[in-house]
Amino acid sequence: MSNIQSKASFPTCLRVAAYARVSSSTDMAYGSLSEQMEYYERTIRANPQWSFAGVFYDQGISGTVKARRKGFLSLLEQADRGNIDMILTKSVSRFARNTVDLLETVRHLKDIGVSVRFEREGIDTSGMDGELLLTLLAGFAEAEAESASEARLWSVRKGYEKGISCHGHPPYGYRWNGPVLIVFPEEAETVKRIFRMYLDGNGTDRIASILNDEGIRKRNGTVFHGTEIRYILTNEAYIGDMILQKRFTARGSKHASIRNDGKLPRYHIEEDHEAIIGRDAFNAAQMEMKRRSLSGRGNLASVNVPHNTLTGRIICAECGRKYVRNGANSGYWICATKAQNGRTSCNAGNISDKAIRGALSNILGGDSSELISEHDARILMHGDEASVTLNDGTGYRIRFAKKPGTGTTWEIERI
């Protein structure tokens, strides 16, 4: 019998990586990050049983939102590729402050043979018999994040009480110069023009169309829409005032801000910065907006602007919203809900401008914007039918039919 000598086994170095994170973008925090990275590289390279697999990091990023942590995601990608055997990190809260993310990540890493060592808590997941301790620590980490968030919110709100803004995006027409809003001349001229056009009788959609046609764009280079024109017309910043805490982040809302409708105090600071619009013009715009709203015409222009004669007159029977033009020069009208949120948000049908004006012409005895305004025609759209009511109380039902080659036809019945 011959003896076969077994092959000698040689120790294999563990490929060890580290993860570091700081949630503040201050110089002190960056210094701390640099020190952490140097510490981990030195520690890993000093161990003869380890091989250095890199230090991954995120700076100025919250640990509660995994998708925004590019360094963390890169670490997991390398682990999935089989390039890492063990991960070092300072603490549970540095690794993740969201309990679900933490447990899912650690479970996944264990499944692919990668352990995580949390230095502060003295936990090595390779030797864990269960997840109870890790779950508790994750809960503490998430509570710590909520506590820190509450502290920051408290600080911001105390600043509001003293009239100190937390900044944010400056309104169109302004830029921040330290803690003060200063006028940005080119955009300020556009703001002045928006107010003039509105008080001259133009609707918000029409104003947006005019600006877009002239190549005037928002700060980010995109086109204007009627909703943004309305926001400009109602923003008190243009008369030099500032209202603080218009929106706030509710507890447990995952960082989503909501409109402050009275749940928290709001702080009105008069003459906070240089005005672009005079108070008289601003107040006149608010009164005009209220007048149009009470008349049921939404952003309807005056009767002297025939292009917008039907704006605000066509109502959706499905959701109650007004119809809007699908683009400034579009040939058809669409429910505002459907236009904003997509086809599945409302079952209302579209109607061509030519068809609705043709049917109204048959009813009113003429095709003119003046006749539509004179009779105050109101249209309720439901499916392919429209109910028309005039100011003398008479009503009509219009049945539209789309026929290939001939366009949209209609039948009118008095009701």
CA–CA dist 60, 20 (Å, integer): 11
Q: For residue 51, give the 3-state DSSP assignment.
A: strand
Q: Count Cβ atoms within 10 A of the Cβ of residue 391 and give its class: 0-12 exposed, 13-18 middle, 19 or more buried.
A: exposed
Per-residue pLDDT tens for 171-201?
A: 899 998 877 889 999 999 999 999 988 888 8
Q: What pTM does this model have?
A: 0.39
Among positive and negative, which fits the CA dihedral 258, 261, 265, 270? positive
pLDDT at 92 over 50: yes
Q: Per-residue pLDDT averaged across 74-84, rounded?
A: 94
19 lies in the same domain as 138 = yes
CA distances from residue 47 to 43, 78, 117, 176, 290 in whole angstroms, order as listed? 7, 21, 15, 51, 74
Q: What is the mean pLDDT of the chain?
A: 76
CA–CA dist 292, 281 (Å, integer): 16
Structural domain of residue 94, as residue ranges?
Answer: 14-148
b/e per residue 32-59 (b: at least 16 CB within 10 A): ebeebbeebeeebeeeeebebbbbbbbb
180 lies in the same domain as 286 = yes
Residue 302 within a domain? no
Residue 4 within a domain? no
pLDDT at 367 over 80: no
Residue 6 within a domain? no
39 lies in the same domain as 67 = yes
At residue 249 the predicted structure's pLDDT band, cuts being 50, 70 and 90, is: low
At residue 13 the predicted structure's pLDDT band, cuts being 50, 70 and 90, is: confident
Q: Count Cβ atoms within 10 A of the Cβ of residue 101 and give its class: 0-12 exposed, 13-18 middle, 19 or more buried.
A: buried
Count CA atoms within 13 Å of residue 130 on its CB side.
Answer: 4
286 lies in the same domain as 314 = no
Range with the poorest average pLDDT among 41-55, 121-135, 349-363: 121-135
pLDDT at 30 over 90: no
CA–CA dist 182, 173 (Å, integer): 9
pLDDT at 236 over 90: no
CA–CA dist 328, 331 (Å, integer): 9
Q: Per-residue pLDDT averaged across 82-90, rounded?
A: 93
Per-residue pLDDT tens for 274-306?
A: 999 988 888 888 888 887 776 554 444 333 333
Residue 162 within a domain? no
At residue 354 the predicted structure's pLDDT band, cuts being 50, 70 and 90, is: confident
Residue 8 within a domain? no
Q: Which residue has the higher pLDDT, 258 or 126?
A: 126
CATH number of the domain that residue 54 is part of: 3.40.50.1390
179 lies in the same domain as 53 = no
23 lies in the same domain as 133 = yes
Q: Count Cβ atoms within 10 A of the Cβ of residue 298 and give its class: 0-12 exposed, 13-18 middle, 19 or more buried.
A: buried
For Cα atoms 199, 201, 202, give the angle at the middle one, nearest 5 degrees. 100
CA–CA dist 99, 119 (Å, integer): 18
Per-residue pLDDT tens for 18-27?
A: 999 876 543 3
Assess contact for 390 and 402: CB atoms under 8 A. Answer: no
283 lies in the same domain as 313 = no
Domain boundary (269, 293, 317) is at 293
Total domains in the fold of the chain:
3
- DSSP characters for 334-368? EEHHHHHH-GGG--PPPEEHHHHHHHHHHHHTS--
Per-residue pLDDT tens for 108-119?
A: 888 898 999 988
Which among 71-80, 172-181, 238-247, 292-301 has the top mean pLDDT?
71-80
Q: 116, 124, 70, 67: which is closest to 95 by C-alpha?
A: 116
At residue 67 the predicted structure's pLDDT band, cuts being 50, 70 and 90, is: low
pLDDT at 89 over 60: yes
Helix or strand holding residue 257 (H, E): strand 257-259
CA–CA dist 321, 324 (Å, integer): 9
